[in-house]
Amino acid sequence: MRLLFELQLFKKKKILDLESQKSFKFFWEEANTDKNSPGFGLIKDRSPSNPDVCSIASVGFGLTAITIGVERHWITYKEAYDRVLGTLDTLINNAEQINGFFYHFLDMNTAKRTRNSEISIIDTAILINGAITVGEYFGGIIKEKAEQIYKRVNWKWYLNPRTNHFYMGYSPEKGFFGAWDWYAEQFMVYFLAAASPTFPVNAEVFYHFERAWGAYGYYPPIVHTWTGSLFTYQYSFAWFDMRNKIDKEGVNWWENSIIASKSNRQFCIDYSDIYKTFGENSWGLTACDGPNGYKGGYGAPPSGYDNRQNFVDGTVPPAGAAGSVIFTPEESIEALNNYYKNHKKLWGKYGFKDAYNLDVSPEWYAEDVIGIDKGITLLMIENYRTGFIWKTFMKNKYIQSGMKKVGFVDIASKIIDDFEGNSISTGWKDGGNNVYQIHIVDNMANTGVYCLKVEYKKTEVKDAYFYTNIKEIDLDYMDSFVFSIYGRVKLKISFIDNKGNKISEKIFKATNKNGWKTYEWDISSIKNKLAQLTEIRIGVEPGDINASEIFYLDDIEFRTNKPIAHSVLIDGKPIVGNILKGNYVYYSCKGVKEGNSIYRWLISSSPNGEFIPIPGANSLTYKLKPEDSGKYIKFEVIPRTKGIFGILGSISGQAVQSAAIGEITEDKVALARNN
């Protein structure tokens, strides 16, 4: 049975092979390949229409696509290298720009502004993402040119200092207009701007856009976008790996996109009696071509307006579900197989055409493919299959730094100091013996840009140390103390309580004079003593005559090494007779996999009451019984690995996660929420 299941799954996933290779062909074939042209390497906005128009965002997706093409042996390394090098030269020398920002649309042949388009911050950011990707992949002169493009962007110029919002557009004719004042696809802008080595913007700008919460159906509330278009929940995630991360306000944006994708699908299911195109395997409302032209507002609730009255006409683009394959793999793959098997007119030279609509007469199928839709499809499929784009892009020190500066931290960690802005530390100081000079410096970091430089004045002073006081910290779920060091030195690390007494200490011998190495201290045996921890002391062990006079520290943190069940949701309408399904994913800072999980379904007469385990309900699914009517259901998953159970916790990111739905009814669906 298992072999049959795996065979069926393999067959279903073949659509990913087909669509990926076809999507790649668009970026490879619909580019300017004339090496004598000022527009060499520019990529069309769409095909076959508008053959002379390049979208700068299409170039960003296309540069990234080229690295996938090499990895999958669709093109040779040399072919890719030559195309990328020439494209970057075009962007540096010929493509029309202002203050490093490119025009949205360029002429394919001249690389000059076309269609009276605006200088676009978001499309420039997509272009930079692509440039950084190829820079990390190829290195050398390509990396230098990619960083040249990034470093000349003046992010401060594009920021409205009165509102702390980035403008949405600029044209020489009318100046700046619009604002990124709601959540949308612009996360990449904040990360890139915060880490800029030339024109950095305060990372707190990230926390100034509107966080509007809303829910659709029985799914939990999310921070939603204005239109509810799926691309707004997808684009930044194509490059920036936000799995297992929360921001300073505790928002898990990965989970946010999962719920947005599921809500979008549910909307299409709920309205399938009105729109023939909609259904459980035909969903993913996002900006795309429609019977009456391109519309950027196609979307689903929750959103800033009533989607049923705005931009809903039965049009469905394959890129909507495909771009969410990292969030909803089963649902997305089923949708793609439906399009491929049942809508032959939707398939063409470059895979799926942009959209279709069965609710107009005659039925409408797009003729064009659009670069940004092929791009999000290709990148997300590759990330789902291998994580290749994330692995490549996230190597870049500015990308690491930008996410840290904005405040994105691993949910499995308690950051003492990463020297990029995330810190429980109150600052580092010499212990009073004038033995250590402490500086935060750049260009020597283990990850990101900054690290702690320690100048050690060799001395016989016993127990000389430098230290940091720490704010209140909950270490109940942490298993180890971790730090990275560059240098040859024997360090003693001491944990001090609020009375100045040593809780514990350990010596680490670092011999890595010319590189970084990470060290880990298992704190499981002393964890019950750490509630009083208020100070961390670090010092060179007396008598270490070979210690480096300068060494570096970075990424000092506590971690849990247990698997963490996260993004726990219940799928299925809470109606008697229906089958509910628990959904979740696992993350851990070390990539620990789950092992055999334990599942439980619990029931209560009140959403805030005591939840009692339902006898025998110990699988991923649960069928609602008549006696459940009017009650509330919760699903829990307890991960275990190598025989070690996780620890019971809440939705905030502990080892056990639970999800609760709204009241169970006989004939209608109530709102659902996470517990």
Residue-wise pLDDT for 154-188, tens only, equals 999 999 999 999 999 999 999 999 999 999 999 99
CATH superfamily of 2-390: Glycoside hydrolase 144 (GH144) (1.50.10.140)
Tell me, what's the pLDDT at 669?
36
Q: What's at 376, amino acid-wise?
A: I
By the 8 A CB rule, do 338 and 280 touch? no
3-state secondary structure of 200: coil
Q: Could you tell me which residue, 459 or 457, shows the higher pLDDT?
A: 457
Task: Give the residue among 123, 437, 420, 239 at the shortest CA–CA distance from 428.
Answer: 437
* Residue in the structure block whose two tokens are 């290709």: 378
For tokens 């609730």, the residue is 301
Spatial distance between the Cα atoms of 302 and 217, rounded to a whole number of angstroms: 9
Joined together, the tokens standing for residue 204 give 């707190």
CB 658, CB 635: distance < 8 Å: yes
Half-sphere exposure of 174 (CA within 13 A, CB side): 8
Q: pLDDT tens for residues 111-157? A: 999 999 999 999 999 999 999 999 999 999 999 999 999 999 999 99
| CATH superfamily ID and name for 413-559 | Galactose-binding domain-like (2.60.120.260)
Q: Give the span between the Cα atoms of 276 and 309, in whole angstroms.
A: 17
pLDDT in the model for residue 543:
79
pLDDT, average across residues 509-536:
93
In angstroms, rounded to a whole number, what is the distance separating the alpha carbons of residues 667 and 270?
14
Task: Report the pLDDT averaged over residues 565-583.
Answer: 90
In the chain, domain spans: 2-390, 413-559, 564-660
Decide if pLDDT at 635 tops 70: yes
CA angle, residues 2, 583, 328, in degrees to nearest 5: 85
| Rounded distance between C-alpha atoms, residue 477 and residue 414, angstroms | 10
Residue corresponding to tokens 């909507």: 320
Give the Cβ contact number of residue 340 at 10 Å. Answer: 18
Would the pLDDT of 650 be above 70? Answer: no
The secondary structure element, H or E, covering residue 636 is strand 632-638
Residue 633 host element (H or E): strand 632-638
For the chain, give the mean pLDDT: 92
- What phi and psi, each to the nearest 5 degrees, are found at residue 115? 60, 25
Please report the pLDDT score of residue 542 as a whole number: 83
CA distances from 667 to 295, 556, 573, 634 (A): 36, 54, 10, 20
Q: How far is CA 580 from CA 61, 600, 616, 659, in A?
A: 38, 12, 15, 12
pLDDT in the model for residue 530: 92
The pLDDT, as a whole number, for residue 648 is 32
**DSSP H helices in 72-117:** 77-93
Q: What is the pLDDT of residues 254-278, one digit of tens each?
A: 999 999 999 999 999 999 999 999 9
User: What pLDDT shows up at residue 652?
Assistant: 25
Q: Is the pLDDT at 328 greater than 70, yes or no?
A: yes
Task: Let me know: does 582 contact 603? Beta carbons within 8 Å.
Answer: no
Alpha helices in 357-396 (DSSP H): 371-385, 388-393
The predicted pLDDT at position 314 comes to 97
**Residue 577: C-alpha distances to residues 434, 623, 626, 670 (Å):** 73, 6, 7, 15
Amino acid at 432: G
Q: Can you name the residues that pair with 437 across neighbouring β-strands?
A: 455
pLDDT at residue 8, rounded to an integer: 64
Assign 655 a pLDDT band (cuts: 50, 70, 90).
very low
CA 58 from centroid of its chain's CA atoms: 20
For residue 646, the model assigns a pLDDT of 42
The closest alpha carbon to 67, from 294, 248, 242, 238, belongs to 238
Is residue 653 a contact partner of residue 566, using CB atoms and an 8 Å limit?
Answer: yes
Residue of higher predicted confidence among 671 and 484: 484
Q: Is the pLDDT of residue 647 over 60?
A: no
State mean pLDDT over 310-335: 96
Given this chain, do its domains 2-390 and 413-559 carry the same CATH topology? Answer: no
- CATH number for the domain whose boundaries are 564-660: 2.60.40.2700
The terminus-to-terminus CA distance of the chain in angstroms comes to 35
Whether residue 670 is predicted with pLDDT greater than 60 in this model: the reply is no
- Report yes or no on whether pTM surpasses 0.85: yes
Provide DSSP, 270-329. HTTTT-TT-BTTB----SEEETTEEETT---SSSSS-GGGSS-SS-B-HHHHHTTTTTSH
Question: Measured in whole angstroms, how far is the alpha carbon of residue 619 from the centre of its chain?
Answer: 30
Average pLDDT of 630-651? 64
Tokens read off for 408: 């994105």
pLDDT at residue 341 above 90? Answer: yes
d(CA 188, CA 144): 21
Taking only the tens place, the pLDDT of each residue in 89-100 is: 999 999 999 999
Angle among Cα 85, 76, 388 to the nearest 5 degrees reads 80
For the chain, the farthest-separated pair of C-alpha atoms sits apart, in whole angstroms, at 89
Res. 671: pLDDT tops 80: no
- Per residue in 442-453, is it b (16+ CB within 10 Å) or e — as a string? eeebbbbbbbbb
pLDDT band at 645 (very low <50, low <70, confident <90, very high): very low
Stronger pLDDT, 598 or 47, i.e. the higher one: 47
* Cα–Cα nearest to 626, from 573, 597, 594, 665: 665
